[in-house]
Chains A and B, each alone.
Chain A
Amino acid sequence: MKDLRDLARSLLTGGEVQMVLGWEDGRRGARPAFITSPDDADRLIFDTRCVHNLATYLNPRRPQVTELGKVAMVVKGCDVKAVAGLLREAQLTRDRIVLIGVRCGGVLEEPALPTAAPLTAPTVAPRCYGCDNREPKLFDHIVGEPQPEPPAPAMTIDDRIATLDAMTPDDRWQYWTNQFSKCVRCYACRQVCPMCVCERCIADKTVPQWIETSSHPRGNLAWNMVRALHLAGRCVGCGECERFCPVGIPLSLLNRKLQQVVDERFDYVVCDDPETPAPIGDYRPDDSQEFIR
């Protein structure tokens, strides 16, 4: 942690950046920290409670942070994929940010703890299992020691998807419409997502109205479907949408399912290389099409 604080202090002192974005201890566990003075650099922490994907503050929908000038951001492997996604889609330019990569051994599912807790099967965030980016490859500085692999949760996201896939379509329909009928359309999933970059969301359009705005199961299905579709091949799997969902809809199952689809069908795995084109918006003439008559 000392090297992280020293680095932040020197970046701020030297005037290279106007703000360091990281995590600090808050009243309810770790929380995002916006450090503008070198004296405050010692507030920065990094441990298993630092689950928040701070890349969402680089989203052009949310210019408050980037307007302050050049920003240095502490990024885990999953966060930096979102930064790469924003770079890939020209929502951000590389010279606007300094990336401080941290080597990450997984995070907790629930960050509201007074001190860092070791990761165990019940407490680890399921998305961390099988992480392919525990050491960011896109960074300007990297800090921390190499970390061990996170433990496996009792049931991985892929296991859950396999369970659903083994059900009949009618049972799946029942499961998902039940889940979506909980949705209150607060759009927290959209607001927290670093990759939801549209200035005007299709869910807010009224003429024509594509998504029914009231919270009933039919409009909820359309909303959750279009949210997943718009993130197909773009979602970095940071799991913030599911963590923020006030009614506990398992959005990571949808996101992960589409990650599997683009991997199997288009041979694309979301990565932190901004030069790799995203699968939707790109194509190959020989894409498989066995479902097309």
Chain B
Amino acid sequence: MRIAQAVPVLIGVVVISFVLTRALPGDPAVQFAGFAATPQSIEETRVKLGLDKPLPEQFFLYVGQLLQGDLGQSLSTGQPVTTELASRLPASLELTLTALILSCAIAIPLGVLAATRPGSWVDQLCRVLVTAGVSLPTFFTGIVLIYVFYYLLGIAPSPLGRLDFIYLDPPRVTGFFLIDTLLAGDPETWFGALKQLILPATTLALFTLAPIARMTRAAMLSALSADYIRTARAAGLGSAKVLYGYAFRNALLPVVTTLGMVFSFVLGANVLVEKVFAWPGIGSFAVEALVVSDYAAVQGFVLCMAVLFVVLNLIIDLAYSVIDPRFGTDAK
């Protein structure tokens, strides 16, 4: 049912991305005809790229290819779009998920602490930490972390991407290096991949601390002031049971929503972190493709993101139904 609902969304995305990329100013034929292109060679390039055909014809060709699973060729990187997405999406996902896990590990306990001790020094600390993390731009925090931990102290590895060149890429199963190296039984490379992940994940985590911590705090506060908590306390239940068994579970719903929003935002917006750490992620790929009017790449990226968000919303809905037994039933 849910999946059927997603289909018209995807169709809309395909049409809109097609029209929008072509409506943008900027001529890919000029860009890809090379740096000394004459008007004649630009025309040749335009014909080679199939851009001289009328728009409806181009659209049908595109949809035809799409239905066969062919997202076209990316001109800016010279690879098929599917290959690019297949290698870059796991890279970005790995970074984003690691950052989120790290961020949650700090933000949720911090938010809970701040909610149970409102007005105390813990609450103030939470506020300061969180505001500092979100107000500093990611490329700035990234460069500062590189400066301190790599350049000055030398304890972080070279920020050269996902894996230092002395390691070989693990055989590809999921595209997540942390998983693939374990599947291949290669602990050395696992550590190598983990080391490269630490700094960029920390940079992103500092940025995502704010919404998660604040949301946890707010949700916990509202949950803790509810009637059922008063009842539970009056009934003599221990404070741990009250906090985690009842308040936290109820506060989790808005936190999960926020997590979903943060995840979708960070996946695309971590392009700055990708640039600083030379991370071959999907954000920088999309931005570069956009600047040079690489139609196939931009459309492929938009479509991929749309599918991802549909899947993400499904997962969040599932998470809801796990957390909240009332979900899906007619709530009274």
The answer to whether A and B assemble together is no
Question: Which A residues contact B (CB, under 8 angstroms)?
Answer: none
Question: Which B residues contact A (CB, under 8 angstroms)?
Answer: none
